[in-house]
Chain A
């Protein structure tokens, strides 16, 4: 047995060299298909969302949405979360529609170009300032559309990040100190679909006993087996995690452990006092911001020290390479260029609805969109084809 392990390690060493060679090769040919670091995609998407929040120009927004969609189509994998992008598009459309409908209902009726008249519902004097229906003007609808489109564009940008980056890999990138938290989130993520599944299963079983599946009685009949099931499952999971070594800690002296605990506790106490000091004007000033800062840094030191006790390694961690830098840079640049465009030409970025004008693009805006779309070529293509599509039925 020991022999086997020893051989294993010897082989492992030679394997390490081969692997390093492989890495050098892939650094020379960055176009090999691979998954990009999830943080890079998120930075890119946040950049796009920031850009979208800085304009209501429908042309710019539409181009941003189209750009994000193009990147998603070219660079997403074929995992289930990647296919959810369509949902974000639908959600965006719903937001725009809702905005317009709201403007229709609670009209306000500003604008000269009245399209048609809806019968106005008179409201009591208490609700003065609110109007239901009435004349519908183009300006009013257009305002709703611009507003909704901006919100939808921001949402779709974040949806693009969700489709491009595996949310679980993002959790894997958290520092060691937050390892326990990220594990809890990962477990919760996998428990949620199981819970849905067991609700469906139990509801079907309830029908077998002749229940209609409605009302408080039915709720109890479904909730009890589902909860009991979830409890059993979580106990099984906890046992499995424990027997696979979860929570092994490095041999830390008791003193250090106490120090870690003390630091975190004191830090959190400091944060509480600091927040209180910040909110209550009657306490002396040093209990405010300075206390909050000291508390925060103490807690962070404590957590870092705690993170050192977590002794674990990472399997195939995502690495930050040139492509990651380029993609994240594109996001930041998009945001920066849009802001610049806004300070140069605010009227074109926020086109007025009254008087009605045709929205125009500026060269800077076009540049921002071009930068936003660049990752569709800059990012390496994703690993596709390893997963058979029928696996997701």
Chain B
């Protein structure tokens, strides 16, 4: 169905080619997962399939890409529209019309399909993706998962043979991601659509994949059976790591596979000392919030929430999209609206409410890195941002740069912030906010678009912040990250706190928030591969 024949892609402004001599054949009806580090060329590979590379992005493509017998050299993207459907990372950015039904019809209108066919296919697609009740809704009012399903539906109506999805679940909460992936697997199984999907969080997709294409980062590609490819590469979902620790071959790809083989491992772990329970925090809270209320016209975002944040503690804030996480963080920082309740930050000179302070002093009490960290940055170079941050915080010159070098060493001083990778940009925004030395740090969905290694770095950074005695809150959907990072988990729904406890308590109690390791080893209380490894060594030593 898709054939890459010695494809090399070279962008004009980079020295190394993004793809080098890539040979790849994806057969009809396959679900092909594309993995690799940020910047390894995943998007380039995906966009080469329908000719967006190089027609749209510029650069040079050597070799041939053929889809369903059509050479992208002679067929620009619009002439492949009936064969390849592409869904981008941010579905909202790709919407052309304003309501669900019209969006579904848009592609077919361009292909000049007869009105009756269009009408029928729209109805079919609405049912296929389970979005029939949304048909008249304006696209902007949909939740992230719904938007993603509409975006998939909008390309499906043209009956493409190939569906290309670029990180379809990166912005979604676990349940919404499940919905989208369930829809995609249904397409593969029922309609025989060939799907190529790029995804950072392999644990979500790898179990459905027939083929794994791994981009090593130097432009070359490894492809084959997922289990075989995973055995040889350095990025791996927790299940695979667990499989490696337990010595299972072939490596398990789904929780079900692993669970069926885990009886023996569970037996070995019975005698192991469970991970130490997190001691309840003692001492004064760094931030105390009582009965926080945030309203927007027609809705209550946060409904009377109490929060205590203790120095040196990492708290994860979870909950589905729209449950009030961001509103709570902004209210705690003082820059967002807050209609009721009190926030007290206890500093050396008594308690203060950051909302009462001017913005420049509030950020010395509570630092917040917003969902899109790029919003904080507006100067031309990394260095200019650092100098500006020092000036804003009245910190000695070089403070911000020193912090940045601690977080990610060796960021070029003259690079434009927008040219940085997601992880680097996050680090820069974090360094800018830390320059003000706030005792409380709030991070809103920081790991969006970060790969496993960047996430590992991020975990280390957050641990260090906590080690310095700061109270840290991380709002995130990423259960695996939370399992390895947080001591306490707060789950929000409809503006209220529905669960608040230690990570183990909360995550083991609910299937939606349980990490893969916990699902495999339940009812034993293990959350991460690292915990299991430690436990196994201690058992081994005793034996």
**B-binding residues in A (CB < 8 A):** 1, 4-5, 8-9, 11-13, 15-16, 19, 79-80, 168, 183, 186-187, 189-190, 193-194, 201-202, 204-205, 207-213, 220-222, 224-225, 228, 232-233, 236-248, 311-317, 383, 386-388, 390-393
| Contacts A209-B363, A240-B94, A243-B78 known; 7 new A-B pairs at CB < 8 A | A11-B120, A12-B116, A221-B378, A238-B56, A240-B88, A316-B101, A387-B137
Q: Which chain B residues (99-141) contact chain A, with CB distance < 8 Å?
A: 101-102, 105-122, 135-138, 140-141
CB-CB under 8 A from A193, the residues of chain B are 140
Quick check: B335 and A208 within 8 Å, CB to CB? yes
CB distance from A19 to the nearest CB of B (A): 6
CB-CB under 8 A from A220, the residues of chain B are 378
The answer to whether B238 has its CB under 8 Å from any CB of chain A is no
Closest CB pairs A-B (n = 4)? A245-B81, A240-B94, A315-B105, A210-B360
Among B95, B109, B433, which residue has its beta carbon within 8 angstroms of that of A208? B433
Quick check: B111 and A245 within 8 Å, CB to CB? yes
CB-CB under 8 A from B154, the residues of chain A are 244
Which residue of the partner chain B has the closest CB to A1? B161
| Given A4-B159, A221-B378; A15-B111 close (CB under 8 Å) | no
CB-CB under 8 A from A244, the residues of chain B are 78, 81, 85-86, 96, 106-107, 110, 154-155, 158
CB-CB under 8 A from A383, the residues of chain B are 136
Quick check: A313 and B114 within 8 Å, CB to CB? yes
CB-CB under 8 A from B140, the residues of chain A are 193
Query: Once bound together, how far apart are the Cα atoms of A298 and B272, in whole Å?
Result: 88
Among B55, B159, B297, B333, which residue has its beta carbon within 8 angstroms of that of A393? B297
| Given A210-B392, A212-B359, A240-B96; A313-B108 close (CB under 8 Å) | yes
CB distance from B12 to the nearest CB of A (A): 16
Query: Once bound together, how far apart are the Cα atoms of A193 and B359, in whole Å?
Result: 27
Which residue of the partner chain B has the closest CB to A249? B78
Quick check: B77 and A8 within 8 Å, CB to CB? no
Q: Which chain B residues (174-194) contact chain A, with CB distance < 8 Å?
A: 191-192
8 contacts between A and B (CB under 8 A): A80-B138, A202-B375, A204-B335, A211-B392, A239-B47, A243-B77, A244-B86, A245-B107
Quick check: B117 and A9 within 8 Å, CB to CB? yes
The answer to whether B82 has its CB under 8 Å from any CB of chain A is yes
CB-CB under 8 A from B418, the residues of chain A are 228
| Given A243-B52, A243-B84; A16-B107 close (CB under 8 Å) | no
| Chain B count of residues within 8 A CB distance of the other chain | 88
CB-CB under 8 A from B84, the residues of chain A are 243
Quick check: B28 and A1 within 8 Å, CB to CB? yes
Quick check: A248 and B117 within 8 Å, CB to CB? no
CB distance from A233 to the nearest CB of B (A): 5
The answer to whether B406 has its CB under 8 Å from any CB of chain A is no
CB-CB under 8 A from A208, the residues of chain B are 333, 335, 359, 363, 367-368, 370, 376, 433
CB-CB under 8 A from B432, the residues of chain A are 209
CB-CB under 8 A from B78, the residues of chain A are 242-248
The answer to whether B299 has its CB under 8 Å from any CB of chain A is yes
The answer to whether B98 has its CB under 8 Å from any CB of chain A is yes
CB-CB under 8 A from B56, the residues of chain A are 238-239, 242
Among A233, A243, A391, which residue has its beta carbon within 8 angstroms of that of B50? A243
Query: Once bound together, how far apart are the Cα atoms of A189 and B330, in whole Å?
Result: 30
Which residue of the partner chain A has the closest CB to B56? A239
Which residue of the partner chain A has the closest CB to B116? A16
CB-CB under 8 A from A393, the residues of chain B are 296-299
CB distance from A318 to the nearest CB of B (A): 12
- A9, A209, A392: which has the most chain B beta carbons within 10 Å? A209
CB-CB under 8 A from B368, the residues of chain A are 208
Query: Once bound together, how far apart are the Cα atoms of A383 and B378, in whole Å?
Result: 46
Query: Once bound together, how far apart are the Cα atoms of A80 and B513, in whole Å?
Result: 37
Which residue of the partner chain B has the closest CB to A235? B56
Quick check: A312 and B81 within 8 Å, CB to CB? no
The answer to whether B63 has its CB under 8 Å from any CB of chain A is no
The answer to whether B543 has its CB under 8 Å from any CB of chain A is no
Quick check: A225 and B378 within 8 Å, CB to CB? yes
Q: Which chain B residues (401-454) contact chain A, with CB distance < 8 Å?
A: 418, 432-433, 436
CB-CB under 8 A from B101, the residues of chain A are 315-316
CB-CB under 8 A from B480, the residues of chain A are none
Query: Once bound together, how far apart are the Cα atoms of A133 and B345, in whole Å?
Result: 57
Query: Once bound together, how far apart are the Cα atoms of A393 and B96, in whole Å?
Result: 22
Among B112, B361, B392, which residue has its beta carbon within 8 angstroms of that of A311? B112
The answer to whether B39 has its CB under 8 Å from any CB of chain A is no
The answer to whether B374 has its CB under 8 Å from any CB of chain A is yes
Query: Once bound together, how far apart are the Cα atoms of A241 and B317, in whole Å?
Result: 37
CB distance from A231 to the nearest CB of B (A): 10
CB-CB under 8 A from B93, the residues of chain A are 232-233, 236-237, 240
CB-CB under 8 A from B117, the residues of chain A are 8-9, 12, 15
